[in-house]
Structure 1
């Protein structure tokens, strides 16, 4: 239902779906980010929900490890013969029951169980001292980067000398700008500053953090050397842990970060129907709609003339080749799609018209799509324009052409034969009279009767000939008028066939890309909690 707040499980499932929908169109980095957050969140939720994991992150020389030891209350590194520097993660664990699988997932091998509780109501807690993220050793940076994406709470430790370092802000803090709710910022070694300078530097760091996107983070000045501010940091960690919302808040922040590039995008508008009409007009022109309409009208007039013309001359029409037959076309549609006409293949001009129609439609489809999705539309369009001419050639063969006069014209054929028969009767009458025996000659007046002074055989001859000629002229003129209608119907039929071809060969494949993005965007919005 619109406006319903989605659960975290639904949001993570939507992120999985978005990653699958965008697999072909996202950059490797974008797709990896979606799958990484979906996988990491799913795995984290299957592990201990009781433990809050807090990671200490800092640059070389920031005093991060010293501050970590001060918060823990013991120098844990001193008891580890293999840890002369912060080269691998070190875990301080309060209430370790159930933490083993979680630490295995975090790939933290060095684990130190702590007695009692970290603070009242803080619950089970894991503090991690991590390698320096600006270390010259790539593996150290990789560990810090990986765990920055896994821990529940991030503690950024800096010092007065490096608090404005671009490496800290550009590569670590800014990418986690959505994590204000689970982020603590620490200005360590504050004992090196006077009180006014400490306030000024802390204020400057807060301003930089706000510019990074962390709107709700305040800076905690500390000194591992003097112990100043350490208790403030412990209370801040205990407060976050006691809320038992860090894990969920972290996942929600990850979702907000990873969906940010698309979450603000508005749903796509429908491709205007006028775009397809414009394309179909151009494709019909390229397919020779006008020529086919003219040929079909000519075939109709020829066949009508053969059927209803004056019988003494209409036979000559049969000596002329049928316009449709000459092009290898027939009036019945060829449903097999194998039959090809003898219409010339699209020339350069026809291809240019067809290509302009398809590419124009593709531009409307690509409107509003991100670059990679729009690029996929362009790539698919180039494949289509290579294959479409052959389909357009078959369009004429699959079109039902109205070139055959209807059976009603058969009445005129009957009348033409009756008229010719009447004329032949008149001629036969005179021949009979001419060749009668001489003894019957006195009876000639009775053999050739008259009407109003006109001999009946003469009337039969003249009437039959005139009726045939007039009927032939009438149907010829009428055939011209009907031929114009045949032209329109043929053009309409071919355009319908072309419209079906364009729907199957152009609209559907391009719409699939657009539809896939629309579904991707819908899933992104759900994952983003919108």
Structure 2
């Protein structure tokens, strides 16, 4: 059943849906009793709405000797309830029905076996019966009964009925037991609560006025401002007409059941709010007349980018990023020398290990879905692990600043929830990051080709000189030898080639050193970005999700409490 939304208020359906959402969001974070209480309200509301909404269940509750059974008999025009002064008087709840057709499932749900249909001549005559049509009036056991089962039955039905009529007497109307245990917790239920001061016939009119005024003061202190307070006498009938008229108006309105469920939703949301603020489920704070239940604290927005910086720095150290960055620079110089060094000596470079391959890095990133082996980067030291733990705790502390302790603890737990995956995640991030080490710069090919040309010139000069030496050794005529100035060309080719090759090798080393620094900087940026992704996925995303959960919880609790903001309706 979809209830109409009152102007400026949240509909009952929306409030109950918000309460259910708040309970789900609070599960595992807040005290179990508060969460269970909210879910019980949602379940109870679903059951009550599926039953007869054309009937209003009102219950007369009170202490032994308050006269509630006499009042029940007077209103119903019967002698169903046993009247007496011994304890207990009323042992089981019983119901009087005015036109109770269709109320059977509702009474079955309430577990009321004793039922009596009020005929047209009872309860004020035919007109009275017609005005009360749809009323189910219960006479509850005494709330102060010496029998525990009776007190438990009062507690159970007090949570289920649509309208509560508390019958007090002049001797015990100020009893702390009834105020603290029953009336004060009903501050949310002002619209479905009526208080009756019975036996006013035993007082003078002035004393009755004083008692009613004092009772009004006590109810206001309980948070029950505006609750009707009626003075009646079940013996003389004084004030009973006013009580019957009030019941008739509530029955005619047919909204008591919805108001009761709305009040239950608000009370359950208050309980969640107190649990969220760190108060126990059983801690209702001051009396209900005191300021309202604690508001759920809304944490200040904390940017994930602001948290990522220090955390990424600590994780980078633990992942060995500085070691990898240094290896990138060394590997570039190593490979540059191997590609551009003097061909006569560059082969020696092959006997030296490649710094990146030694770490099992430098290959192209594995295709998505392919297994990536672990690197050979040394494991994080104790100091690095301590720095990482501190950074994670600091990130959690910064993110949860301003949150109440239950939610702050949940944020801290979320930050550590995937800590076991950090080491493998960081190693995989480093292993799959493209370091640009496999790319061969164009100048390598140019310098390498130049070295081979120089080597060819050197070899040509050496062979030329060797031929001239052989001809001289064999006493053959010496052929003419061209010169470059005073120096013969064979000598120029040999010596010039050697010198040029050495100079090219030295220049290549200088360029390789600069290129190594540039590649190291690029690798550092790429590695930091990869580490930051790990930090976000394994630390910050769980934290952000927990903060989002808390924000949704506060919004749901506010809606369940019918806290309508400007512009909302």
TM-score under structure 2 normalisation? 0.84
Name the counterpart of 1:497.
530
Give SS of 2:296's match: coil
Does the 8 A contact of 1:337 with 1:398 survive in 2?
no
Change in CA separation of 1:29 and 1:254 when aligned onto 2, cut-off 3 Å? same
Of 356, 360, 363, 1:331 maps to 363
Shift of 1:269: 5.2
Of 290, 298, 301, 2:333 maps to 301
Shift of 1:86: 0.9
Of 69, 73, 78, 2:73 maps to 69
Shift of 1:248: 1.7
1:241-298 residue CA offsets vs partner (Å, 9 max, x unmatched):
2222212221222222222245743666544121123322221122111111111211
Give SS of 1:76's match: coil
Confirm whether residue 160 of structure 1 aligns to residue 194 of structure 2: no
Shift of 1:221: 2.0
Confirm whether residue 128 of structure 1 aligns to residue 138 of structure 2: yes
1:442-488 residue CA offsets vs partner (Å, 9 max, x unmatched):
644x2x21122232223222332222222212121122222222222
C-alpha RMSD of matched pairs (Å): 2.8
Shift of 1:397: 2.1
Name the counterpart of 2:503.
470
Name the counterpart of 1:174.
184
Shift of 1:138: 2.3
Structure 2 distance, partners of 1:145, 1:251, is: 16
Structure 1 distance, partners of 2:50, 2:337, is: 85
Equivalences for 1:402-441 in 2 at 5 Å? 402-404=436-438, 406-408=440-442, 409-437=444-472
Bigger drift between 316-325 and 44-53 goes to 316-325
1:318-351 residue CA offsets vs partner (Å, 9 max, x unmatched):
2222212222333333464541122222221111
Bigger drift between 352-361 and 118-127 goes to 118-127
Shift of 1:499: 2.1
Change in CA separation of 1:287 and 1:109 when aligned onto 2, cut-off 3 Å? same
Does the 8 A contact of 2:41 with 2:264 survive in 1?
yes
1:118-151 residue CA offsets vs partner (Å, 9 max, x unmatched):
4664432111111122323222222111211211
Equivalenced residues, count: 524
Does the 8 A contact of 2:414 with 2:539 survive in 1?
no
Give SS of 1:507's match: helix
Name the counterpart of 2:111.
107
Of 296, 299, 310, 1:265 maps to 296
Unaligned runs of 5+ in 1: none
Unaligned runs of 5+ in 2: 1-6, 121-125, 274-294, 565-569
Name the counterpart of 2:288.
none
Shift of 1:105: 1.2
Does the 8 A contact of 1:62 with 1:159 survive in 2?
yes
Name the counterpart of 1:452.
485
Structure 2 distance, partners of 1:425, 1:111, is: 123
Structure 2 distance, partners of 1:187, 1:342, is: 84
Change in CA separation of 1:276 and 1:133 when aligned onto 2, cut-off 3 Å? farther
Shift of 1:155: 1.0
Confirm whether residue 55 of structure 1 aligns to residue 59 of structure 2: yes
Structure 2 distance, partners of 1:244, 1:417, is: 102
Structure 2 distance, partners of 1:62, 1:159, is: 5
Give SS of 1:96's match: coil
Structure 1 distance, partners of 2:300, 2:164, is: 41
1:144-178 residue CA offsets vs partner (Å, 9 max, x unmatched):
11211211111122223332333222221222211
From the two aligned structures, give the one with the greater helix fraction: 1
Give SS of 1:178's match: helix
Give SS of 1:185's match: strand
Equivalences for 1:336-351 in 2 at 5 Å? 336-351=370-385
Shift of 1:238: 2.0
Does the 8 A contact of 1:300 with 1:404 survive in 2?
no
Bigger drift between 308-317 and 5-14 goes to 5-14
